[in-house]
Amino acid sequence: MKRRTMKMKTMPSLHKWPVNIFSWLCCSLILGLGCCLLLANQAIANVLPATQTPAQLIHTELTQDAPSISILEANQATIEEIIEETSQETAAAEIALLFDEAQRYRGTDGAKSSAILQRLEKLRHNLSQEQAYYLDYLQAYQQGILGKHDIALNTLLNVFNNTQSTELKFQSGHTIFNVLAISRRFVEALSYYNQTMALYSQVSDGGLRATSLFAGMMLFNELGDYERVISIRQHSDLATLSEGLRCKADAFLIRAESNLGPSDKVLPFEQGLALCRSAGQPLYESFIRLYYVRFLLANSQYMEAKTELEAHLATSLSTQYKLIIQEYYYLMAKTYWLLGNEAEATLFAERALETSVSEQYSLPLTLSLELSYQMAKQRGDFELALQYAEQYAQADKGYLNQLRVKAMALEMNKAEMLEQQQRIEILKRENQLLTLAQALERKENVNVQLLIVVLLLCLLSVCIWAYRSKRIQSELARLAQVDELTQVFNRRQLVLLGGQVLALAERNKTKVSVIMVDLDFFKSINDRFGHNVGDWALRRVAETLNALGRKSDVFGRLGGEEFAFVLSDCALEQALDFAELCRNEIATIDVSDSLFPGALSLTASFGVTETGLSGYDLEGLLSDADQALYQAKDSQRNCVVKFEAHPITNESDVATDAARDEVREGVSDATTDGTTSVKIGEATDATTGKTVNV
């Protein structure tokens, strides 16, 4: 039996708790941060507005408010109601027909138009709100043609501002700027032109779009912006036109080209006239004719002009368009005067003056007054000539003023358009900036999220690293305390814990017993069966003994096949019983799972002492227990021997200090009762060579 390191009870698992708490804290922290990130994301999402389009909102409202029609109720309609319904259906059919006709004769046949509109007015109570607005529009259009511009405008503005139909709004819009232009309210006309043309892309009716372009051409003709008229004519929507529309377009183009001044270009007067005649457009036909006659007169073709005018006077009058009729009369007067027919000239000049439009100054009026003045002067009627001269001067001034107003309106409109364009440009830039800012914000959000993820990963790495190093530390600590083979305390830990137990017991004056255990003939087990079997035996014995001890006991492997117990609060008798129990348990270990079960038997010898015999010093206790163990080995083995102190009886038998040192292990030389004693042992005296008891 040799002194070696020892092991004890299996390591308690308490050393693991700081690691577990640490890991738990790390996980909680990570989870907490993860939750914060999710909540932050949720908060960002909540800040953003709900993306419901206006169309979806309208749909929701419509769905909520949708009225339900009871078929049952409909079936229960009285006969009177059915009759009423039938008459309503008839009225509806008539109304549809009348609207078609009103549209067809609008601007082409004043008398027919008036009759149709009167009939529709009588049916007004049968019209829907939108139909009523359309009737208002047609009536206003008719009023405009008759020169009642203020009345027409009031109605048109009401339709423009209240109709739900984009098409009717668009249609009334271009009639408004037309009437405003005729009324010389050019600034307003241009403003409505802009408002109306802003709806252009929303209007699907090609005819209506073309009409608005025509109205634009008319407006800019009126304003004297003839280049603009020519440029509108080139709009792609006017590339292919019906005969009627081509007639109108030609009329506007001829007016613009004529007013741009003399050029080598031959204007298509005859073609335009033929086109408008064939299309049944007397208004535009008359319009072209006015410029044609002007052209003839400018080229001294007075007879041709006279023929043309006389042949188509009725057509012009049928238009009921006062401006055309006035100019027509003037041109007749001028032609007759140029041909020397003063009577006819005077007659038509007077008619032209009578046909003045809403006290406005117009070119035909000015020219008619000038002609009347010249004719009166020529006749020698100076008083009348003076009157005409005064009126002419006033009209000319008024007309020139109007020209100035037009020019100013155009300038203002150009400035307004420029300002609007600049505003649009600024808005576009602001939008771009906003988009950029949003993109930047999104990027920043992503960056913040990435940063949080990186921080979390770093934190996780630190936690993992800390957890691992803590585990390594714990493992190292465990390895320093535990015997690797048997997993019980090693000698170092047994001495440490045993010392603490003894210190406490000494303070409390309680007894502590120490048992030393040594396997019998263990060398022969190794030799016969090999070290593997020896190791197995050591593990089984350690396991068995460890299970027998109490929680307060300290058990460990001293080294080799030697183990020890430090039993707290345990008197010698109890320790002896416990040793006996251990001995018995070892002797009955089931060896069936060892490599050579049949031949293998395990026994151990036990040496027991107590603080009452050996004191509270662990070294002394171990030494005394070891001594008792030797006694056990010396006897039959597989037994328990109690340590006993022996007083010195024979001087000669007492070994010298040198001989005592030869004892296999150190001994104590003080007994518990204070008497000097020597513990049992064998040594060889170096001087005599005799074996002595110690």
Which residues fall within 8 angstroms of residue 531, CB to CB, at 6 or more apart?
none
Q: Measured from the CB atom, is 1 or 251 closer to ligand GTP?
A: 1
Q: Measured from the CB atom, is 124 or 528 closer to ligand GTP?
A: 528
- Distance of alpha carbon 230 from its chain centroid, rounded? 50
Going residue by residue from 594 to 633, which x/- string records binding to ligand GTP, judged by CB under 6 A? ---------------------------------------x
Q: Position of tokens 């079960």?
A: 597
Name the minimum Å distance from CB 633 to ligand GTP: 5
Contact with ligand GTP (CB under 6 A): which of 385, 538, 566, 586? 538
Q: Measured from the CB atom, is 11 or 519 closer to ligand GTP?
A: 519
- Distance of alpha carbon 372 from its chain centroid, rounded? 78
Name the minimum Å distance from CB 653 to ligand GTP: 25
- Residue number with the smallest Cβ distance to ligand GTP: 534
Interacting residues with ligand GTP between 453 and 492 (CB under 6 A): 485
Q: Measured from the CB atom, is 118 or 636 closer to ligand GTP?
A: 636
Catalytic site residue from 561, 580, 585, 665? 561
Q: Measured from the CB atom, is 354 or 535 closer to ligand GTP?
A: 535
Contact with ligand GTP (CB under 6 A): which of 216, 560, 607, 620? 560
Tell whether residue 563 is a contact of ligand GTP (CB under 6 A). no
Cα four-point dihedral sign 540, 544, 547, 549: negative
Name the minimum Å distance from CB 478 to ligand GTP: 19
How far apart (Å, rounded) are the C-alpha atoms in residues 527 and 355? 148
Name the minimum Å distance from CB 661 to ligand GTP: 20
Name the minimum Å distance from CB 574 to ligand GTP: 26
Going residue by residue from 492 to 531, which x/- string records binding to ligand GTP, judged by CB under 6 A? --------------------------xxxxxxx-x----x
Name the minimum Å distance from CB 457 to ligand GTP: 47
Q: Measured from the CB atom, is 142 or 481 closer to ligand GTP?
A: 481
Q: Measured from the CB atom, is 183 or 487 closer to ligand GTP?
A: 487
Instruction: Report the b/e string of 550-575 with b at 16+ CB within 10 A.
Output: eeebbbbbbbbbbbbbbbbbbebeeb
Tell whether residue 534 is a contact of ligand GTP (CB under 6 A). yes
Interface size with ligand GTP, residues (CB under 6 A):
18
- Distance of alpha carbon 572 from its chain centroid, rounded? 82
Q: Among candidates 584, 677, 686, which has minimal Cα distance to 638? A: 584
CB-CB neighbours of 670 under 10 Å: 13
CA angle in degrees (0–180, nearest 5) for 594-595-599: 85
Q: Measured from the CB atom, is 324 or 541 closer to ligand GTP?
A: 541
CB 257 within 8 A of CB 267: yes
Name the minimum Å distance from CB 599 to ligand GTP: 16
Q: Among candidates 184, 111, 173, which has minimal Cα distance to 142? A: 111
Interacting residues with ligand GTP between 626 and 665 (CB under 6 A): 633
Task: Look up 561 and say whether it is catalytic.
Answer: yes
Which residues fall within 8 angstroms of residue 223, CB to CB, at 6 or more apart?
181, 186, 190, 406, 409, 410
CB-CB neighbours of 532 under 10 Å: 11
Which long-range CB contacts under 8 A does 685-692 form with residues at least 24 apart?
Answer: 685/655, 685/656, 685/658, 685/659, 686/656, 686/658, 686/659, 686/662, 687/656, 692/653, 692/654, 692/655, 692/659
How far apart (Å, rounded) are the C-alpha atoms in residues 577 and 201? 111
Name the minimum Å distance from CB 470 to ligand GTP: 31
Name the minimum Å distance from CB 637 to ligand GTP: 6
**Tokens read off for 51:** 């993306």
Using the contact rule CB under 6 A, the part of the chain among 222-230, 261-269, 408-416, 532-540 near ligand GTP is: 532-540
Q: Measured from the CB atom, is 322 or 491 closer to ligand GTP?
A: 491
How far apart (Å, rounded) are the C-alpha atoms in residues 177 and 487? 106
Q: Measured from the CB atom, is 282 or 560 closer to ligand GTP?
A: 560
Tell whether residue 1 is a contact of ligand GTP (CB under 6 A). yes
How far apart (Å, rounded) are the C-alpha atoms in residues 172 and 178? 10
Q: Measured from the CB atom, is 382 or 596 closer to ligand GTP?
A: 596
Which residues fall within 8 angstroms of residue 678, CB to CB, at 6 or more apart?
646, 648, 654, 655, 660, 667, 669, 693, 694
Helices (H), 183-224: 186-197, 206-223
Going residue by residue from 188 to 207, which x/- string records binding to ligand GTP, judged by CB under 6 A? --------------------
Which residues fall within 8 angstroms of residue 303, CB to CB, at 6 or more apart?
339
The number of CA neighbours under 13 Å toward the Cβ of 217 is: 25
Name the minimum Å distance from CB 546 to ligand GTP: 16
How far apart (Å, rounded) are the C-alpha atoms in residues 205 and 193? 18
Name the minimum Å distance from CB 587 to ligand GTP: 14
Residues making contact with ligand GTP (CB under 6 A):
1-2, 485, 518-524, 526, 531, 534-535, 538, 560-561, 633
Active site residues: 561
